């Protein structure tokens, strides 16, 4: 509604306010030159229908409706309009200086204030060194946070009163500022130093450490204050920058450095230092984006692991080919990040069984591999194998092939249904994710 319509006018309030405390409501009205009275007079321009009307107010409202003395407005519409006009900077400063916890809590629970103001105000709440749900005030603040930002809250009754509600809120969030604010709250800052992984807040800390939108300021807080378990989780982030990696590496915590060595985006200088010290060499060989210098060092002793590294360039692949080692070629055949030409070269070297397992092969090459009986089991497991080949394989009376088909999520449902009737394959079919979805969607139930 437009507050200008009410300026310099008198309104009658019947019942109680809803989102604003009475004094706050009157103060906001005064700011807009709106006079509020509790008994009807000829000066009244609008009648406000509040909540929880007592019997006398209810009777008066009915009489005023009949007399058509003035237009009626609902309290929620007026309060929403008032809240939209609040100067967020002045209110934030006022609440910060006054330390009025009751007034602060009232605004935090106010659904009509803007999200930006809400996030500023929630940082002022005194959590009293307790968890999100350990006292009534903390529970109300946390519930208000979840209610405001949780997607489809109507479908998740009472989720605002559970730790899982806050956990799911962070998981579904696409708001970096929200994650930053939650991370700044006292219960998080307290729990981040707690070694007890059974603590209810620990899972929230895990989710924040891995969330793709967690800002660098929060990552910095983890690196500075978190337990080594949480620091190790931070080490798995692909966006972990060189500065943060170096700080973590220099702490010389085994679990942290081991996890760091598994990061594909490990800084190349750290990777070289680890290799020179003989640390986690196998992890680096099979996972890290190595440069030419590090590749040449590793290829002497770790060629097999390098062959499965998903980050190889064409020069590195050619060097591995040139080694002419059968086990290296087999490992390359399983690598899902090669070019089509590389797979053709491996086909020419008769690495059929391993190539047939690779889901990244073209349909044409999978068709070619079907000409070789040694590829049958691998093709039966491959989720990219063409449907007609899977159907033809299902006609073969070979237990290994049929077992692979029973486990393959790409196997047609009609074939899985037939395999389920055989006791040898029943368990594998029941564990097959695609068959489980088919059973659930069609309400068939297990046979």
* Boundaries of domain holding 25: 3-84
Is residue 69, in this structure, part of any structural domain at all? yes
> What percent of the chain has a predicted confidence (pLDDT) above 70?
99
Average pLDDT estimate for 201-220: 96
Number of domains in the chain: 2
Q: Is the pLDDT of residue 194 over 90?
A: no
**pLDDT tens across 128-158, in order?**
999 999 999 999 999 999 999 999 888 888 8
Decide if 133 contacts 185 (C-beta within 8 A): no
Is residue 417, in this structure, part of any structural domain at all? yes
Q: Is the pLDDT of residue 351 over 80?
A: yes
Q: What is the pTM of this model?
A: 0.83
Is residue 17, in this structure, part of any structural domain at all? yes
Is residue 41, in this structure, part of any structural domain at all? yes
**pLDDT tens across 431-445, in order?**
999 998 888 776 555
Q: Which of 68, 84, 100 is the last residue of a domain?
A: 84
Q: Which of 44, 68, 84 is the last residue of a domain?
A: 84
Q: Is the pLDDT of residue 357 over 50?
A: yes
Lookup: tokens for 376 = 């049958």
What angle do the packed helices 242-250 and 216-225 form, to 10 degrees? 10
Query: What pLDDT band is residue 446 in, cutting at 50, 70 and 90?
Result: very low
Q: What CATH number does residue 74 fall under?
A: 3.40.50.10190
Is residue 125, in this structure, part of any structural domain at all? no
Q: Are strands 34-37 and 72-74 parallel, antiparallel or unpaired?
A: unpaired
Q: Is the pLDDT of residue 447 over 80?
A: no
Is residue 328, in this structure, part of any structural domain at all? no
With vertex at residue 340, the alpha carbon angle to CA 339 and CA 341, rounded to the nearest 5 degrees, is: 90
Decide if 146 contacts 160 (C-beta within 8 A): yes
Is residue 433, in this structure, part of any structural domain at all? yes
Average pLDDT estimate for 84-92: 94
Is residue 317, in this structure, part of any structural domain at all? no
For the sheet with 44-49, list strands across it: 34-37, 9-14, 44-49, 72-74
Q: Which of 69, 84, 99 is the last residue of a domain?
A: 84
């Amino acid at each position: 509604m437009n507050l200008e319509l009410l300026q310099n006018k008198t309104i009658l309030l019947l019942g109680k306010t809803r989102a604003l405390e009475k004094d706050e409501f009157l103060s906001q009205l005064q700011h807009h030159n709106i006079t509020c009275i509790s008994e009807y007079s000829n000066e009244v321009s609008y009648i406000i229908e509040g909540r929880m009307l007592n019997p006398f107010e209810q009777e008066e409202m009915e009489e005023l409706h009949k007399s058509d003395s003035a237009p009626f407005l609902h309290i929620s519409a007026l309060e929403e309009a008032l809240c939209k006009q609040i100067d967020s900077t002045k209110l934030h400063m006022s609440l910060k200086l006054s330390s009025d916890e009751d007034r602060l809590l009232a605004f935090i629970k106010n659904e009509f204030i803007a999200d930006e103001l809400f996030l500023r105000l929630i940082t002022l709440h005194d959590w009293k060194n307790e968890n999100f749900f350990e006292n009534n005030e903390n529970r109300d603040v946390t519930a208000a946070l979840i209610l405001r930002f949780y997607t489809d809250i109507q479908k998740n009754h009472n989720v605002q009163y559970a730790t899982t509600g806050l956990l799911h809120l962070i998981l579904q969030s696409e708001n970096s500022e929200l994650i930053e604010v939650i991370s700044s709250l006292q219960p998080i800052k307290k729990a981040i130093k707690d070694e007890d992984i059974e603590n209810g807040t620990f899972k929230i800390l895990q989710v924040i450490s891995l969330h793709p939108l967690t800002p660098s300021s929060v990552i910095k807080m983890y690196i500075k204050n978190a337990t080594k378990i949480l620091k190790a989780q931070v080490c798995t982030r692909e966006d972990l920058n060189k500065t943060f990696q170096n700080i973590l590496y220099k702490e010389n915590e085994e679990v942290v450095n081991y996890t760091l060595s598994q990061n594909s985006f490990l800084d190349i200088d750290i990777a070289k230092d680890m290799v020179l010290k003989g640390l986690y060499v196998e992890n680096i060989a099979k996972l890290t984006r190595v440069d030419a210098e590090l590749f040449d060092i590793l290829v002497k002793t770790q060629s097999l692991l390098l062959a499965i590294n998903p980050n190889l360039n064409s020069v590195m692949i050619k060097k591995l080919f040139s080694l002419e080692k059968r086990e290296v070629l087999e490992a390359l055949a399983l690598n899902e990040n090669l070019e089509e030409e590389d797979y053709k070269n491996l086909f020419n070297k008769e690495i059929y069984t391993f190539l047939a397992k690779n889901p990244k092969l073209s349909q044409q090459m999978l068709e070619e591999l079907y000409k070789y009986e040694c590829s049958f089991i691998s093709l039966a497991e491959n989720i990219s194998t063409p449907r007609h080949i899977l159907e033809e394989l299902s006609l073969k009376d070979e237990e290994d092939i049929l077992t692979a088909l029973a486990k393959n999520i790409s196997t047609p449902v009609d074939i899985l249904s037939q395999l389920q009737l055989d006791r040898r394959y029943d368990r594998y079919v029941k564990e097959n994710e695609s068959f489980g979805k088919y059973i659930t969607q069609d309400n068939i139930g297990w046979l």
